[in-house]
């Protein structure tokens, strides 16, 4: 949970934050190889699994591209979905601190040096609030690792900003998923974020065992694509493990 002396709801507005003051709550960033890979479904399953282990779990989607109006705030629709299902006890506006509307990028590019520190501050403060008195916070990215680079807040950079490790969600298969995971992982590596695993999503049930076997073989340490889970679409809340072939 947060440092006992740092209540995020009473922090002064200045100076702007360049990192969360919360350094104790465990966290994980969920990225993907592209949009619509099943990242939100994976987050729903992970959130349920985390709740079975940790008494208090928080959630945030720092950068949102599809949002709805909730209580006067623009809130990403995936955050609203998770709140609706799990009744997360965090301020809903903090779950979606940055909403990307149709003119956001143009506004940013006019004054990037002035705007970026403010956006980083918004994200860090929102993370502090959703993680206040929480044991674990799940962080959902948006699209592939590079999404957001045009305004200097790619998924990889946001994970770095929040001092989080990451997993990567990818559609099921063998060759293409391993290639795409490795490609996306390279950007996380570049900014210093550790990718600790991956989830192959939308795998046909009768191919689960075969995909698990060969995807595991394809994720040898030399390739650094750390595939660790295969999600069953008929039971997305219960991902199936497959053998970890990396040396211990």
Asked if the structure places residue 71 within a domain, the reply is: yes
Asked if the structure places residue 62 within a domain, the reply is: yes
Asked if the structure places residue 165 within a domain, the reply is: yes
CA angle, 230 then 153 then 54, to 5°: 45
We report the CATH number of the domain holding residue 103 as: 3.40.50.300
What are the two backbone dihedrals, phi and then psi, of residue 158, each rounded to the nearest 5 degrees?
-65, -40
Please tell me the predicted confidence (pLDDT) of residue 182: 83
Provide the whole-model pTM: 0.82
- What does DSSP say about strands 136-140 and 26-32: parallel, antiparallel, or unpaired? parallel
Strand boundaries in 97-247, DSSP class E = 98-99, 136-140, 165-171, 195-201, 229-230, 240-241
Q: Give the closest residue to 48 by CA, choosing from 130, 136, 158, 126.
A: 136
Please tell me the predicted confidence (pLDDT) of residue 212: 63
Burial of 103 (0-12, 13-18, 19+ CB in 10 A): exposed
Cα separation, 41 vs 46, whole angstroms: 9
Please tell me the predicted confidence (pLDDT) of residue 204: 58
Residue 167 structural domain: 26-241
Asked if the structure places residue 247 within a domain, the reply is: no
If the chain, 248 residues long, is cut into consecutive pieces of 10 residues, what is the mean pLDDT of each piece? 66 92 95 78 87 92 81 76 81 86 92 95 95 94 86 94 92 71 90 87 63 59 45 46 38
Residue 113: alpha-carbon gap to chain centroid: 25
Cα separation, 248 vs 246, whole angstroms: 6
Asked if the structure places residue 7 within a domain, the reply is: no
Looking at the structure of the chain, the number of domains it has is 1
- What does DSSP say about strands 240-241 and 165-171: parallel, antiparallel, or unpaired? unpaired
Please tell me the predicted confidence (pLDDT) of residue 174: 66
| DSSP structural state of residue 56 | -
Asked if the structure places residue 133 within a domain, the reply is: yes
Asked if the structure places residue 232 within a domain, the reply is: yes
Asked if the structure places residue 106 within a domain, the reply is: yes
List of residues 6+ apart from 45 with CB closer than 8 A: 231, 236, 237, 238, 239
Cα separation, 188 vs 167, whole angstroms: 10
């Amino acid at each position: 949970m947060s440092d006992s002396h740092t209540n995020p709801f009473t922090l002064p507005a200045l100076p702007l934050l360049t990192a969360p003051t919360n350094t104790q709550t465990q966290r994980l960033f969920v990225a993907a190889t592209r949009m619509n890979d099943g990242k939100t479904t994976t987050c729903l399953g992970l959130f349920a699994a985390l709740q079975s282990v940790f008494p208090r779990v928080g959630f945030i989607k720092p950068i949102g591209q599809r949002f709805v109006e909730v209580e006067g705030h623009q809130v990403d629709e995936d955050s609203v979905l998770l709140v609706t299902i799990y009744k997360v006890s965090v301020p809903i506006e903090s779950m979606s601190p940055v909403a990307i509307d149709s003119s956001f990028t143009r506004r940013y590019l006019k004054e990037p040096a002035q705007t970026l520190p403010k956006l980083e501050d918004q994200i860090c403060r929102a993370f502090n609030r959703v993680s206040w008195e929480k044991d674990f916070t799940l962080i959902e990215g948006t699209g592939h690792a590079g999404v957001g680079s045009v305004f200097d807040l790619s998924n990889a950079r946001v994970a770095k900003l929040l001092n989080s490790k990451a997993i990567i969600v990818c559609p099921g298969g063998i060759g293409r998923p391993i290639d795409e995971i490795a490609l996306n992982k390279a950007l996380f590596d570049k900014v210093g974020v550790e990718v600790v695993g991956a989830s192959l999503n939308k795998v046909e049930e009768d191919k689960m065992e075969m995909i698990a076997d060969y995807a595991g073989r394809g994720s040898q340490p030399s390739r650094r694509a750390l595939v660790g889970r295969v999600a069953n679409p008929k039971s997305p809340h219960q991902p199936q493990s497959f053998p970890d072939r990396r040396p211990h």
